[in-house]
Structure 1
């Protein structure tokens, strides 16, 4: 029964993550609740294995039907991967919890801006940054990659907002691009979990299969329904991140 529940959440997480990011908010909590006797590192490793497979599948699916600007994506992947590794190394030096209040303010601002601007991300547009995109991509992918390495939740939403707001992508392009960059940062973390043997395989494999299925359904639905659909799901995910951070911060003071 527990495995069926976990697989159901993995399917939903794969779908949500493929459309707008934020699948970790759905997939990780059930693992933490049902596997309380297991060390946290094994929970994170199992979650990462399932998530990476779904994200990679969605990235491949997008790449087949959405034009990806590899001249922008490759520098972003390299910057995000290097800074994600640096962030993981810095975990012992910086308290990850310090990021929660900062992230809560950023995510709320993102939600308000996206909600207010009805045309935000509905179509690609030219911006000042899009004329010389590489320095901007290296900058924001590096910063977000560092955050992903040291803490993590909300990374996909931050990347999508940056590509739409700074480089003028529409939400569909941003989602496709974000998936590719997310695969890079997630694989770096997964390698460490694999090396340490910190994966519960009898849970990770079936969850990965369901995450892949969710990723396929989500990416195809996003491509069929377009940027407006992705925008709506993005707002739902962002509200979920706000509630999660708000709850965590309140719990610290109780």
Structure 2
């Protein structure tokens, strides 16, 4: 029991059961939302920081927890036939390479410039999706050709890189990219995006772990919450379809933009 309590300590300060319960609920909700439309980090990461966890440790621990949830969500989408393996076999290596390069270059790039660019891009994604009535409603995937595969590789590399060193909005960009390039509906786009998101998450997670930036005691508890949340969210998305996914996708895209806008000015 003492060993378990020590695992939950921050700088030898024990965390109360109230804080543990708060993190559990926050991460469960984050994973449910993320499995449907992305953007769960808007809920989970601030929750870690609010509980007094240093930001770099919060990033690593959140990545550990979210990877668990994304794994469950990816498997559920795959089991229900919402993952296109003949496409992803081309894209996964580029997502991996991009994420690795993103983590290694995080300290060499002025993130303020990147934040401004991403802010406008994600605002565009959210507003465009809001006013485009037919976007992602029907699955119009017609197969693969050289052009679509190359566009997908570029998408996977760029968003893998982005997820490796910054991250907010990655899921939204991936979903939007799969819809625009391949004609998927929101459900199939979410399923395929989860696989690429999982690839970049695992890559970043390994590097965070190597550099000792994870509190595994807390991470195990929050990972359990995210596994439960991801399972619930994915099943709900598969049951309700695009009528549920599209409004949540638009809401989370705009929330990410507002969060980034707030961060830039305050």
Query: What is the TM-score with the length of structure 2 in the denominator?
Result: 0.89
* Residue pairs, 1:177-188, within 5 angstroms: 177-188=192-203
Match of 2:38 in 1: 21
Classify the secondary structure of the residue corresponding to 2:214.
coil
Match of 1:105 in 2: 120
User: Deviations for 1:128-147, whole angstroms, at most 9, x for unmatched residues?
Assistant: x9544211110111111111
Q: How many residues align?
A: 248
* Residue pairs, 1:69-148, within 5 angstroms: 69-126=84-141, 130-132=144-146, 133-148=148-163
Match of 1:59 in 2: 74
* Superposition deviation, residue 198 in structure 1: 2.2
User: Deviations for 1:158-208, whole angstroms, at most 9, x for unmatched residues?
Assistant: 000000112111000000001111111000111112223322122111110
Match of 1:6 in 2: 23
The answer on whether the counterparts of 1:130 and 1:166 sit within 8 Å (CA) in structure 2 is no
Query: CA separation in 1, counterparts of 2:124 and 2:154?
Result: 20
* Superposition deviation, residue 41 in structure 1: 2.4
Query: CA separation in 2, counterparts of 1:153 and 1:201?
Result: 23
The runs of 5 or more residues in structure 1 that have no matched partner are none
* Residue pairs, 1:207-218, within 5 angstroms: 207-218=222-233
- In the alignment, does 2:190 pair up with 1:159? no
Match of 1:237 in 2: 252
* Superposition deviation, residue 90 in structure 1: 1.5
The answer on whether the counterparts of 1:171 and 1:228 sit within 8 Å (CA) in structure 2 is no
Change (3 A) 1:197 1:150: closer
Match of 2:212 in 1: 197
- In the alignment, does 2:228 pair up with 1:225? no
* Superposition deviation, residue 97 in structure 1: 2.3
Query: CA separation in 2, counterparts of 1:12 and 1:184?
Result: 22
* Superposition deviation, residue 240 in structure 1: 0.8
Query: What is the TM-score with the length of structure 1 in the denominator?
Result: 0.93
The runs of 5 or more residues in structure 2 that have no matched partner are 1-17
Query: CA separation in 2, counterparts of 1:126 and 1:71?
Result: 13
